[in-house]
A and B are shown apart, each in its own frame.
Chain A
């Protein structure tokens, strides 16, 4: 379980090369600079989706990730704008704050299972939106705009991170940042799933009673997982806010929460990298269908239903076959 096969290493190598070298080359050659924004969004949304996937891993359908993304975006914006923090410190702070909220909300609601848990999470996004509208610190409906770009970071005089405001090409910088965050997220997710915590999650997902009979503290693990899940949501949201340089109560809506969940279904709940692929396909799929105007939603939904009907284990089941890389 600690060893990675040569094939896997090659796969990771090719993937890293493609996103860090291939994509910039292609974009440079074609001049489609707008693709940077698209791919950056995909990377960040897939971080939030990774969190949703993790809650699936303990047998809970989470349709509330938008709430935590919104919380993360606001926390980072407030820390940067009102408290003058560096964005790079506000980013983990946003993640931790989202995790803290998840713990407080999770204690009562994680006892629920199935559709009951899903329903409660479904309203969370709306609750956070309404809270953002009501609170003075979030500026209500006006939201927070003109958030400064991330500033440079240096440690003992050695520059570690560049000042985004002084850059010619912030698109590329944000793209790289988002990709690095995404890779760290999925590496962490992969390790988690393949470590003891992951095995305990699997046991809970398959049978909570049996898990507790062998001594698994299911209530505790549920909370830990929900907190990690929401941490990812908070990080994704905070990064989004920084790129858009603004956060509004409607920055993340219920439909975003639903999409995070669909990304997981589409990519495959049995595969760690499923939500990444799901996010990419769903995001591009939606855009490609733009041509169809008012039929966009209809075609989109039909295709989704067909995929979920005929590929219940997600897109990755096509490639990897039965079992796959857990």
Chain B
């Protein structure tokens, strides 16, 4: 049947376009994690000024909208002679936005480690960095993972917004394909949704696996 051929053809072209979406996802997620961990830890810093500065960053990026941030970075920064390519603008906006949300998760995770555990590590004379690496982090990450997994899904969905500054990701290519093939609108969008669903699900199951590993030994 011609129809199946056609669907397959659309699918292949969309999969090709999802390369951009996937690389954007990975780069932005990595950067967001770095930002989240640094800010999450700084939110627990004993210096009030540092906490205030990081808190300000977190609240500004949580309190305004991702698309507004993306537009600001892409359309306003050039007026300050900071001209970012579309991909970079997308990465920066997404990482700053989800980094802010995840910082809160990281902070809560570290706070959740009982102080008795830290005392036990001290009684065994761990150095501060050993204490972090062997005792605090493995217990904190277990609390963080479900929340970070949710943020990961949100981030993947958030990447679709870069199509609105013209980056040729999965969404953008779909919209362009549709204008050429109005009759296939339904199929195209269904396929785009399915691809996003597949990408999200892969990352979601990845996080489920990590959660399982972090939960070893727990009831």
User: Do chains A and B interact in one complex?
Assistant: no
- Chain A contact residues, CB within 8 Å of chain B: none
